Structure 1
Amino acid sequence: MSPTRPPALRLRSIAVIGIGLLTLTATAAASVKAEVEVLIASADLGAAEVSVSVVEAGPGTSVVEIASDQLMIPASNLKLFTSGAALHTLGPEFRFQTTLRRDGDRLIVVGSGDPGFGDPALLAMMRVTNAAGDTLPLDVDSFLELWVGAVVDAGMRNVSEIVVDDSVFDRDFIHPDWPRDQLNRRYCAEVAGLNFHLNRLHFFPEPRPGARPSLAKYTPHTRAVSIDDNQATSRVGAKDSNTAWIARKLETNRLTLYGNVKHAYRTPVAVTVHDMPTLFGRLLAERLAAAGVTVNATRLVGPGEQLGGDILGTLVYTPIATAVRRCNRDSQNLYAEALLKRMGGQMTKQPGSWLNGASIVRHVVHERLGSPALASRLKVVDGSGLSRNNRVAAVTVTAWLNSFHNDERLGGIFLDSLAVNGVSGTLKNRFRRVDLGDAMVQAKSGYINGVSCLSGYVTQGDGRRRCFSIMINDLRAPVPNAKRLQERIVAAIAADMAPQPVTLGSD
């Protein structure tokens, strides 16, 4: 039988050990802060501003605070607030849903602002069986065929009009803060009440020796866009490479190809489109016509117009868990903006907009953090962080992250939406040159010109976790320098959390 200590002695021993732990914790916090300060000082970032906040997940006690109350441009770290507020507001069971309805001889497409409608990455994870019995990944053409087939099977041969109901959002497709010279690029895709294929076209240019490259291959294929000019070359010299890019004239779908096409593209050259609700109506009409269905007209829903009809064909929906994962793990701006506008519309009963969406985010932050001081250190302008007028303090970021660590209902979905070091999303190729031990990083990166940020969680193998935010502004040094600093700071946090061996009975 094992000997048993008297109760009083046992309690007294625990008290002494507890005091020792408190002393060690305070010393460790001071030590890791000093290490972070050394890392910042030696990071070769020039005059860049660096803000750092690290807290213990759960109690939220501070571990490192360096200029953490300073308002910083967050870039895509703002998506943490957009996605979290959407989960809080819309709920974990929410899903976007897009429907095709029949109202007599009319077809009505009802949008919900779903950013996942026709998203190629999501389609590739779905399967369809073709006429030969083969099971294949779903692509844009087979996806559209689901609705076209439903119309044909319903016996419709003449459609008076296709009406696209995009009224869930306003028709301000582009935020005024976004860079006007980059609106053709994938991260500047327009935001609409009916989104499709990430609101962009994917081209696969092919070289034509002695001539301009071919742009015949693209998806989704439609006559509603035009290639106005082709300034690209098909040079195949040893020093030549694939450099093709596509410009789009503002507020049109008139395109121009630039650069060089040495080899046929296997990965797409993306270009955004203008007014996807109108474009989708025409695209659907073209596909129906190819199936023998005449469509006399297409249009958008009018102001205050009430539409009815019965659901026809496949219901298409995107769960909010998928939406926040694409928003955070893959940093898809369209998803962030759609989440922002959808929660704004849901709560105000008005068409979703940047204004009402941002107001809901601020309200939710105040509600979850319960601190006017922390909530005041946040300025929300858009949902993705593309605007340079967004601001947030690192201390507010870590408090926000900690609120989800403590949230049994939403925390799992939120944390699962983040990229993981060396495994997924925007962190798949990061943290390869630092030693994290057994720790795992789940985080959101962020970059726009002069800004590099990383915020998220460090979790040790035994489950202990810290929330961190590292925000760098006014960056004129190479971006890899900023990323290296972020990774070294996270590694220092992980090392500080690692279990320390204790030798009992030594002097």
Structure 2
Amino acid sequence: MYSAVTSALAGRPGTYSVSVVDVATGETLVDQNGAEAGVPASSLKLLTGTAALSTLGQDARFDTSAVLDGDDVWLVGGGDVMLGAGESDDSVVNGHAGLGTLAQKTVAALERQGVTGQINVGLDSTLFPGPGLNPDWADDLVTTNNITEVQTPAMYAGRANADNHSEVVRNPASVARQTFVTRLQEAADTKGLDMTFLLGETRDGADGTEGASGDTVAKVSSATVMQQLEYMENHSDNYLAETFGRLVAVESGQTGDIEGATSSVSAAVEELGVDTTGLDMHDTSGLAATNQVSPSTLAQLLAVTQTSANANLRDLAGLLPAAGASGTLSNRLAGWDTKGLIRAKTGTLADVISLSGFVTTRDGRLLSFSVMSSHVTGVQDGARAATDAVAEALLEG
């Protein structure tokens, strides 16, 4: 198998490190500089997804609430960053919980309580305090629509609409609040109520600012963790990955900021017994070129998920894109002899290409693998073909 991997990489542009593990036995079958930490790009999302499954559980949901404090209404973010602008739609993940539905419920509650006149609508985004943009991210990542400020509440994973290729919006929590105000006014006007909704105070948790207090009068719930993670892994969604890192931190009793996210995800991986030598996380999406993780850590982690007593973790493989069929692998490894037989997370940065996932060999053996390349600026297509060639070679066992 080692010779098959080296042959697949012979003459390819860039520098490669590879680790392959037999899932059933835990034996490392291929180690080509596998313990050497490098930049993983979006393969890092495997750590974040695993930590979310082990810490949050696949059935958890996140509520976005309207809280009444005196005559003020507060929009309180509870971790859902895939809110829709209109009514809730149980048939979708992105837009599952709708601000239009939340507004209708809120207006009905205000009417029951006799609240009328001018109503200020505050914004509580304190669940994720601290900077929304990571200082380790390249300056052009926002302008190229890869990421925006990580905040909750947010709509469409920080984008303008449910199309995962649409442009990102700046300060997505503020955009969500403005949409909520608009929907509140529409709901009140439809019912002929004397209510005028205005933008109120913002609390973002900076300098220890506490969130809103009062009575929750309405709420809407997100799609499940499992559904959102499938969306994240398939579309390689950076905003969701950063969100889940923060949610893991909050669930672990830490602060939902950048540092809390990276430390909590790292700790969750270590708790699974994976060798994390060299692991140095600077974000939870893989956008930071300062991230370091070895192919060995990634391949071991994937193997551990499939043999874990935790049923949540065993579902990780099914979340990953399938060769020639779904997500970021839709147009890769699409031949009749590879389609559907490989599930893997892709990764791309300016100088990095990675591929990490699972292969079922011709004789039915399940392997986990991670291939990471570097020094591929200007030759990304060639490096991508090289990682695919490794996965294809592993099929032969």
TM-score with structure 1 setting the length:
0.69
Alignment partners' CA distance in 2, 1:359 and 1:465: 30
Give structure 2 stretches of 5+ with no counterpart. Answer: 190-194
Alignment partners' CA distance in 1, 2:370 and 2:289: 18
Residue 237 of structure 2, aligned match among 321, 324, 332: 332
Q: State whether residues 97 and 318 of structure 1, in contact with CA within 8 Å, keep that contact through their aligned partners in structure 2.
A: no
Partner of residue 66, structure 1: 32
Amino acid at match of 2:234: R
2:178 is the alignment partner of 1:282: yes
Report the more deviating stretch, 481-490 or 142-151.
142-151
Q: For residue 462 of structure 1, report the CA deviation from its aligned partner.
A: 6.7
Q: For residue 69 of structure 1, report the CA deviation from its aligned partner.
A: 1.4
What is the count of residue pairs matched by the alignment? 381
Percent identity over the alignment is: 25
Which string of whole-angstrom CA distances, capped at 9 and with x for unpartnered residues, describes residues 338-389 of structure 1? 0111111222343x0111111112222222125xxx2122111101000000
Alignment partners' CA distance in 1, 2:385 and 2:337: 12
Summarize the alignment of residues 385-464 of structure 1 with structure 2, pairs less than 5 Å apart: 385-408=286-309, 409-433=311-335, 435-436=337-338, 440-460=341-361, 463-464=364-365
Q: For residue 299 of structure 1, report the CA deviation from its aligned partner.
A: 2.0
Which string of whole-angstrom CA distances, capped at 9 and with x for unpartnered residues, describes residues 46-80 of structure 1? xx210011110121112111111111100000000
2:301 is the alignment partner of 1:346: no
What secondary structure is seen at the aligned counterpart in 2 of 1:151?
Answer: helix
Q: For residue 433 of structure 1, report the CA deviation from its aligned partner.
A: 4.6
Residue 375 of structure 2, aligned match among 469, 474, 481: 474
Q: For residue 325 of structure 1, report the CA deviation from its aligned partner.
A: 1.1
Partner of residue 34, structure 1: 3
Q: For residue 278 of structure 1, report the CA deviation from its aligned partner.
A: 2.5
Q: For residue 176 of structure 1, report the CA deviation from its aligned partner.
A: 0.8
Structure ranking higher in strand proportion: 1
Q: State whether residues 118 and 198 of structure 1, in contact with CA within 8 Å, keep that contact through their aligned partners in structure 2.
A: no
Residue 315 of structure 1, aligned match among 200, 220, 229: 220
What secondary structure is seen at the aligned counterpart in 2 of 1:315?
Answer: strand
Partner of residue 359, structure 1: 263
Amino acid at match of 1:419: P
2:124 is the alignment partner of 1:165: yes
Which string of whole-angstrom CA distances, capped at 9 and with x for unpartnered residues, describes residues 144-180 of structure 1? 3312322343325435211222111114110111121
Cα 1:494/1:461, change in 2 over 3 Å:
closer
Alignment partners' CA distance in 1, 2:70 and 2:17: 60
Report the more deviating stretch, 448-457 or 283-292.
283-292
Amino acid at match of 2:243: A
Q: State whether residues 62 and 222 of structure 2, in contact with CA within 8 Å, keep that contact through their aligned partners in structure 1.
A: yes
Q: State whether residues 434 and 491 of structure 1, in contact with CA within 8 Å, keep that contact through their aligned partners in structure 2.
A: no
What secondary structure is seen at the aligned counterpart in 2 of 1:383?
Answer: coil
Alignment partners' CA distance in 1, 2:32 and 2:366: 20
Partner of residue 190, structure 1: 149
Q: State whether residues 159 and 296 of structure 1, in contact with CA within 8 Å, keep that contact through their aligned partners in structure 2.
A: yes
Alignment partners' CA distance in 2, 1:366 and 1:147: 39
Cα 1:319/1:476, change in 2 over 3 Å:
same
Q: For residue 335 of structure 1, report the CA deviation from its aligned partner.
A: 0.7
Residue 58 of structure 2, aligned match among 92, 97, 109: 92
What secondary structure is seen at the aligned counterpart in 1 of 2:68?
Answer: strand
Alignment partners' CA distance in 1, 2:11 and 2:164: 40
Q: For residue 435 of structure 1, report the CA deviation from its aligned partner.
A: 3.1
Root-mean-square deviation over aligned CA pairs:
2.7
Residue 200 of structure 1, aligned match among 124, 136, 159: 159
Alignment partners' CA distance in 1, 2:336 and 2:369: 17
Partner of residue 192, structure 2: none
Q: State whether residues 16 and 374 of structure 2, in contact with CA within 8 Å, keep that contact through their aligned partners in structure 1.
A: yes
What secondary structure is seen at the aligned counterpart in 2 of 1:318?
Answer: coil
Q: State whether residues 185 and 270 of structure 1, in contact with CA within 8 Å, keep that contact through their aligned partners in structure 2.
A: no
Q: For residue 398 of structure 1, report the CA deviation from its aligned partner.
A: 0.7
What secondary structure is seen at the aligned counterpart in 2 of 1:52?
Answer: strand
Alignment partners' CA distance in 2, 1:463 and 1:109: 51
Q: For residue 268 of structure 1, report the CA deviation from its aligned partner.
A: 9.0
Amino acid at match of 1:315: V
**Structure of higher CA gyration radius:** 1
Report the more deviating stretch, 353-362 or 448-457.
353-362
Alignment partners' CA distance in 2, 1:271 and 1:357: 25
Q: State whether residues 95 and 155 of structure 2, in contact with CA within 8 Å, keep that contact through their aligned partners in structure 1.
A: no
Which string of whole-angstrom CA distances, capped at 9 and with x for unpartnered residues, describes residues 404-447 of structure 1? 0111422333112111111111111110258338x711110000
TM-score with structure 2 setting the length:
0.87
Alignment partners' CA distance in 2, 1:429 and 1:485: 15
Which string of whole-angstrom CA distances, capped at 9 and with x for unpartnered residues, describes residues 179-202 of structure 1? 213313332122013222222325
2:104 is the alignment partner of 1:149: yes
Partner of residue 79, structure 2: 113
- Structure having greater relative contact order (Cα 8 Å, sep ≥ 6): 2
